[in-house]
């Protein structure tokens, strides 16, 4: 979602020899982080998001050695003291590929996308010996479901042909925003919590995805590609016909919650993605590789809503992404290659936030 684990798996494998992370939780210059803790150890762990009360998280995890060949959704309560360990359990079906988990307003149900109705096996990844560039697969078998904390699916929200995923819920508790290809392009849509009242809110050619609501629910932020030249438009459309998209040129956009007054707030180049509002709603935190011509590493940055005051937050030489503030802004959780013992593992980290 907000992106697929394939994204950081590919980059960590491709640039592993160039960007091994030091075995440390904190790097010099990470002044906004304090008391950092590592929550997971091993595999690819990403898209960790807080429950409404900030006491639990959902996330997606791949670990082939543990019998999880592609992303499944997990739930766990955060440790409350130094002696506690982070314990988690799978709440998706264990079939197909899943992504984009998010808590429903009651904190007792979870939203996520899954391919399991089409095939219980993991869907195939793109053959890069044939498509000689980095691409994401846009699986048409993704639909959006609601599960309880025991893993029982209680409702299927989408059943339209084509990709439906990348869903989150407004803090107001009235709307879900998601990405769909039901119109032939990758656009943002909103719907009611029961799946009714679907409305398209973006319509510009390009990949619109990974959207989030502001804390008061009045605005949205998302990442988007905007092919402009005849060559870029042709390539985008040809890849889309194959169920693929190249996510290497994306910028951050914001708009009102209904899609009106949309405007681009970054023009940094390369991939600027996984954006989210901070706890005040006045800044955007996001991941970017714009400083590096080779496309790696990815670090976390913060910027004001008018595109000013860009600040670099993280300093890992590998991969930092998928940031989310706790509801009151006291904690920040994100995924990183740091402290992985020289492996390709991506784990979850949580830290106190320091202004």
What average pLDDT does the segment 235-247 reach? Answer: 95
- Structure pTM? 0.94
Better-scored residue on pLDDT, 52 or 12: 52
Check pLDDT > 50 for residue 18. Answer: no
Please choose, from the candidates 273, 253, 173, the residue with its C-alpha nearest in 3D space to the C-alpha of residue 216: 173
Tally the domains of the chain.
1
Check pLDDT > 70 for residue 103. Answer: yes
Taking phi first (over 0 means left), then psi (-120 to 50 degrees means alpha), and beta for anything else, what does residue 173 get?
A: left
For tokens 């020899």, what's the residue? 17
Q: pLDDT confidence of 293, banded at 50, 70, 90?
A: confident
**Each residue of 324-353: pLDDT tens digit?**
999 999 999 999 999 999 899 999 999 999
Residue ranges of alpha helices (H) inside the chain are 5-14, 230-241
Provide the mean pLDDT of the chain. 93
Question: DSSP labels for 277-342?
Answer: E-TTSSEEEEEE-TT-TTS--BEEEEEETTS---EE----SSBEEEEEE-TTSSEEEEEE-TTSTT
For tokens 């409305």, what's the residue? 199
Q: Domain containing 144: what range?
A: 5-353
DSSP code at position 271:
B
Please choose, from the candidates 182, 176, 113, 174, the residue with its C-alpha nearest in 3D space to the C-alpha of residue 147: 113
Check pLDDT > 80 for residue 5. Answer: no
Phi, then psi, of 214 in degrees rounded to 5: -70, 165
CB 97 within 8 A of CB 139: yes
How far is residue 104's CA from residue 56's CA, in Å, rounded to a whole number?
12
User: Quick one: how far is CA 1 from the chain centroid?
Assistant: 5
Phi, then psi, of 27 in degrees rounded to 5: -120, 155
How far is residue 100's CA from residue 71's CA, in Å, rounded to a whole number?
10
The pair of structure tokens assigned to 220 is: 């949205």
Check pLDDT > 60 for residue 7. Answer: no
Helix (H) or strand (E) holding 110: strand 109-114
The pair of structure tokens assigned to 191 is: 């719907």
Check residue 217 and give its pLDDT.
97
In the chain, the percentage of residues whose pLDDT exceeds 70 is 94
Check pLDDT > 90 for residue 296. Answer: no
Q: Which residues contact 42 (CB under 8 A, 6 or more apart)?
A: 63, 65, 66, 343, 345, 347
How far is residue 322's CA from residue 133's CA, in Å, rounded to a whole number?
23
The pair of structure tokens assigned to 318 is: 């590998």
How far is residue 324's CA from residue 54's CA, in Å, rounded to a whole number?
11
3-state secondary structure labels for all residues of 212-268: EECCCCCEEEEEECCCCCHHHHHHHHHHHHCCEECCCCEEEEEEECCCCCCEECCCC
Check residue 16 and give its pLDDT.
40
Phi, then psi, of 101 in degrees rounded to 5: -85, 150
How far is residue 134's CA from residue 128's CA, in Å, rounded to a whole number?
7
CATH number for the domain spanning 210: value is 2.120.10.30
Check residue 131 and give its pLDDT.
84
Instruction: Determine whether 20 is exposed, middle or buried from the number of CB atoms within 10 Å of its CB (0-12, 13-18, 19+).
Output: middle
Better-scored residue on pLDDT, 67 or 20: 67
| 3 state SS of 256 | strand
Check pLDDT > 50 for residue 17. Answer: no
Helices (H) and strands (E) in the chain, counts: 2, 26
Q: Alpha-carbon dihedral of residues 25, 28, 34, 36, nearest 10 degrees?
A: -10
What average pLDDT does the segment 158-168 reach? Answer: 96
Check residue 13 and give its pLDDT.
39
Q: pLDDT confidence of 231, banded at 50, 70, 90?
A: very high
Q: pLDDT confidence of 24, banded at 50, 70, 90?
A: confident
What average pLDDT does the segment 2-29 reach? Answer: 56
Check pLDDT > 80 for residue 21. Answer: no
DSSP code at position 241:
H
Check pLDDT > 50 for residue 84. Answer: yes
Check residue 22 and give its pLDDT.
61
Check residue 294 and give its pLDDT.
82
**Each residue of 242-284: pLDDT tens digit?**
999 999 999 999 999 999 999 999 999 999 999 999 999 999 9
What average pLDDT does the segment 141-156 reach? Answer: 98
């Amino acid at each position: 979602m907000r992106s697929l684990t394939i994204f950081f798996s590919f980059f960590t494998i491709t640039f592993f020899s160039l960007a091994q992370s030091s075995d440390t939780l904190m790097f010099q210059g990470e002044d906004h982080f304090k008391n950092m803790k590592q929550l997971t150890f091993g595999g690819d762990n990403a898209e960790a998001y807080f429950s409404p009360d900030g006491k639990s998280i959902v996330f997606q995890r791949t670990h082939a050695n543990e019998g999880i060949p592609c992303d499944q959704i997990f739930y766990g309560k955060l440790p409350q003291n130094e002696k506690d360990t982070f314990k988690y359990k799978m709440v998706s079906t264990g079939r197909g590929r899943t992504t984009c988990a998010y808590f429903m307003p009651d904190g007792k149900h979870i939203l996520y996308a899954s391919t399991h109705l089409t095939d219980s096996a993991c869907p195939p990844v793109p053959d890069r010996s044939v498509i000689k560039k980095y691409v994401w697969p846009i699986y048409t078998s993704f639909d959006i479901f609601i599960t309880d904390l025991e893993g029982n699916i209680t409702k299927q929200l989408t059943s339209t042909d084509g990709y439906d995923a990348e869903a989150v819920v407004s803090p107001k508790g009235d709307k879900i925003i998601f990405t769909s290809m039901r119109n032939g392009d990758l656009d943002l849509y909103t719907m009611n919590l029961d799946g009714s009242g679907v409305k398209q809110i973006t319509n510009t050619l390009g990949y619109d995805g990974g959207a989030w609501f502001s804390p008061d629910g009045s605005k949205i932020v998302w990442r988007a590609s905007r092919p402009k030249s005849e060559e870029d438009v042709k390539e985008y459309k040809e890849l889309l016909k194959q169920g693929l998209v190249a996510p290497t040129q994306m910028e951050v956009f914001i708009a009102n919650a209904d899609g009106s007054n949309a405007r681009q707030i970054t023009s940094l180049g390369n991939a600027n993605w996984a954006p989210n509002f901070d706890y005040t709603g006045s800044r955007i935190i996001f991941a970017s590789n714009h400083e590096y011509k080779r496309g790696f590493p990815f670090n976390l940055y913060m910027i004001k809503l008018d595109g000013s005051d860009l600040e670099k937050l993280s300093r890992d030489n590998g991969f930092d992404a998928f940031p989310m503030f706790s509801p009151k802004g006291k904690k920040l959780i994100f995924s990183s290659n740091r402290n992985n013992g020289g492996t390709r593992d991506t784990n979850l980290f949580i830290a106190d936030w320091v202004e």
